[in-house]
Amino acid sequence: MNRALDAAIAGLGLIVASPILAVAALAVKLEDRGPVIYRQTRVGKNGVDFELLKLRTMVVGAEKKGAGFAVDKGDSRITRSGAILRRLSIDELPQLWNVLRGEMSLIGPRPTLRYQVDEYTPRQRRRLEVRPGLTGWAQIHGRAALPWAERIELDVWYVEHRSWRVDLVILVRTPLTLFGGTYRGSTGGWTQGG
């Protein structure tokens, strides 16, 4: 049932988002004439690799320059259009295709790189028990502002406690997080800058 719902929502999402995707793709192309879509191998459910799709937000060949695969706030490799796409998470919209193909889900831990997975502890590997998602428990609790180990722990918590109620909370809170708020749970509600 979850898979059918994922596919239906992803299909509808692609239709609704197509004008935004078209404008964003044009902006990426006009800025430096490079490719619009960035493809990267990520690790999915049960440790299986898949090709993640994103709108390109960095200069061509960015992974071979500067900090490599690591991306810090204010990274000079991020293009002007890419900064806007990243801030609004529009660069993630092509991953709706990944959801349609069954490689991802709407909700789940964000997919990570193989070298990161290779460093997981046995407990951290639990995050591979579910399909990676467009948004998840860690995303509504701080996103990239959180230390890596804390993000992984939040993802493991999700795997251990997932339910339709938790998924509903994530779906409702994700838009608020995207537009500047970070949910801190029982520690005090929403804060700006997430």
Helix (H, G, I), strand (E, B) or coil at 113: coil
Q: Does the structure show a pLDDT above 50 at 28?
A: yes
Residue found by looking up tokens 């537009």 in the block: 179
Q: Does the structure show a pLDDT above 50 at 193?
A: no
pLDDT digits (tens, 9 = 90+) for 44-60: 999 999 999 999 998 98
pTM over 0.85: no
Quote the CA–CA distance of 28 and 79 in Å, as a whole number.
8
Residues 6+ apart with CB under 8 A from 154: 136, 137, 138, 141, 146
More confident residue, 131 or 147: 131
In the DSSP assignment, the letter for residue 109 is: P
Per-residue tokens: 32: 């430096």
What would the DSSP string read from start to end of 149-184? HHHHHHHHHHHHH--HHHHHHHHHHHHHHHTTEEE-
Residue found by looking up tokens 């959180």 in the block: 146
Which residues are paired to 148 by β-bridges? Answer: none
pLDDT digits (tens, 9 = 90+) for 93-137: 999 999 999 999 999 999 999 999 999 999 999 999 999 999 999
Quote the CA–CA distance of 43 and 140 in Å, as a whole number.
21
Asked whether 49 and 43 are in contact (CB, 8 A), the reply is yes
Backbone angles phi, psi at 11, to 5 degrees: -60, -45
